Chain A
Amino acid sequence: MDGDALWYEAAFVVGITNALNVVADALTDARSLGATIPAPDEASAPAEVASTFGEIRTFYARADVPVAFRLLAADPGYLADVWGATRRAFEDATLTRRVKEALAFAVSVTTRSPFGTAFHLGEMRRLGVGDKGVMEVLGVTQMFSSYTKIADTLQLEPDMGDIAPSDPSPPPGA
């Protein structure tokens, strides 16, 4: 695995995963504590989101729309743009969708996101990752959650930047 494209793709997966998780988890928790947030059910969503909801169901091969998107339905334009970025981040490209879901799962576990952990575990399973594969991702997540804290506690400075070659290729379309 080399070249910068996969790292850009990974970064976009990390970003949009975190964005969906923080809202889904926060609003789900807030609702459970009595906060007045519109019920994220598909039946009460504006008619303008029907097309976007349809795309989401197709992309995830499921009958319902994940709560992370239902929560955004009050603003159909915003939902459509967030969904557009999400679909782009997760579709097969240099990295496969299967690997991207593994990255999103690792991010969700690391950030302790109940929504993200359950959702991306489900997607990994749906895309064919078995018990061993799930454990592999958890093992890497666990070990590097240790290394990072050891490094931070001792304030270690990066010293392995030279082991990967730089990618001289221009941005896509240039």
Chain B
Amino acid sequence: MPTVRLRNASEYPEAAQRVFEGSKQWFNHDFAEPPAMSRVMAWDMDFGGPHGRAMKRAMAPGEFTRGEKEMVAAVVSGVNACSY
């Protein structure tokens, strides 16, 4: 059970709605509600904005593909014992 009440997308302001639309495109998936992490990051756009941009920059194809980087992200999450 999350320690906060995760707000529905409809409760967020317009700027956050654009972030949620970006999440759909990023994951190429039409979520019924934006992922919990997207809604968390949208709580404070002055944090979530640059954090999200840094993530997208880190995940962009370069010497490693996006898919390979997703796998790196998965093992880092696994080693950190993060179930999310």
**Contact at A143–B58, with CB atoms within 8 Å?**
yes
Residues from chain B with a CB closer than 8 A to the CB of A154 are 2-4, 40
Partner pick for A136 among B64, B74, B75, B79, CB 8 A cutoff: B64
User: In whole angstroms, what is the CA distance A25 to B83 when docked?
Assistant: 27
Q: Please, how many residues of chain A have a CB less than 8 angstroms from a CB on the other chain? A: 46
**Contact at A130–B77, with CB atoms within 8 Å?**
no
Tell me the chain A residues, 103-140 only, with Cβ under 8 Å from chain B: 103, 106-107, 110-111, 129-130, 132-133, 136-137, 139-140
B23 CB to closest chain A CB, in angstroms? 10
**Contact at B2–A155, with CB atoms within 8 Å?**
yes
**Contact at B69–A140, with CB atoms within 8 Å?**
yes
User: In whole angstroms, what is the CA distance A1 to B55 when docked?
Assistant: 20
**Contact at B64–A133, with CB atoms within 8 Å?**
yes
B13 at the interface (CB under 8 A from A): no
**Which A residue's beta carbon lies closest to that of B63?**
A133
Main secondary structure on chain A at its contact with chain B?
helix
**Contact at B76–A148, with CB atoms within 8 Å?**
yes
**Contact at A144–B83, with CB atoms within 8 Å?**
no
User: In whole angstroms, what is the CA distance A136 to B36 when docked?
Assistant: 25
The interface bits of chain A over 12-28 (1 if a CB of B lies within 8 angstroms of the residue's CB, else 0) are 01100010000000000
Q: Please, how many residues of chain B have a CB less than 8 angstroms from a CB on the other chain? A: 38
- Surface stretch bound by B, among A33-41, A45-53, A83-91, A157-165: A157-165
A153 at the interface (CB under 8 A from B): yes
**Which B residue's beta carbon lies closest to that of A142?**
B58
A146 at the interface (CB under 8 A from B): yes
Residues from chain A with a CB closer than 8 A to the CB of B40 are 150-151, 154, 156
Q: Known: A106-B75, A141-B76. Contact between A148 and B82, CB under 8 A? A: yes
Residues from chain B with a CB closer than 8 A to the CB of A74 are none
User: In whole angstroms, what is the CA distance A102 to B84 when docked?
Assistant: 22
Give 7 pairs: A residue, B residue, CB < 8 Å, sorted on A: A103-B72, A110-B79, A137-B72, A143-B54, A144-B77, A147-B55, A154-B4
Known: A142-B58, A155-B3. 6 other contacts (CB 8 A): A1-B67, A140-B76, A141-B76, A154-B2, A157-B1, A157-B84
Interface residues in chain B, defined as those with a beta carbon under 8 Å from any beta carbon in chain A: 1-4, 6, 27, 29, 35-37, 40, 51, 54-55, 57-59, 62-65, 67-80, 82-84
Identify the 6 closest CB pairs spanning chains A and B, nearest first.
A133-B63, A139-B58, A148-B82, A151-B84, A1-B67, A148-B80
